[in-house]
Amino acid sequence: MNLVKITAGGFNFIARLEEKEAPQTCAAFKKLLPFKNKIIHVRWSGEAVWVPLGDFKLGVGYENPTSHPAKGEILLYPGDISETEIFIPYGGACFSSKIGQLAGNHFLTIIEGNENLGKLGQIVLWQGAQDILVEDYSAAEIH
């Protein structure tokens, strides 16, 4: 499996696991599938939503890190100087926290549904937290 289906805010997205560039992060995340949580709007990073995971540790370090992901390039921050989180940019973003700029592991790239990322961001911004479900694409019912 190298594809996942992401359902959030009434939208479906298909994302590719970046297994060559972030193998440990992808392997650790796949063990969490199906992954259910809430996304909220970022505070310091621009046009993005995030899943705060607090002190949760996936047991991975930095691989394929970036502070400037493009729209649809999903990051996992493994926790270090800030809390563990998943970061989903829907526009211009610089990955940051209250302590400053961070770098997260680029481990997923949305390959279908990018045109709805901005709409999802606006829903989260104006309507608040939304459910998110990430599941194995081969196990998901796709229509």
Q: Over the chain (143 residues), what is each successive 10-residue block's mean pLDDT?
A: 94 98 98 97 95 93 97 95 95 93 97 98 98 88 49
Instruction: For residue 143, give both structure tokens.
Output: 């229509």
CATH number for 3-136: choose from 2.40.100.20, 3.40.50.360, 1.10.3720.10, 1.10.10.10.
2.40.100.20
Q: Residue 143's pLDDT is what?
A: 44
How many DSSP H helices and E strands does the chain contain? 2, 11
Query: Per residue in 1-22, pLDDT tens?
Result: 699 999 999 999 999 999 999 9
pLDDT for 65 equals 97
Closest CA to 115 of 74, 75, 73, 71: 71
- Predicted local confidence at residue 10, as pLDDT: 96
Q: Where are the domains of the chain?
A: 3-136
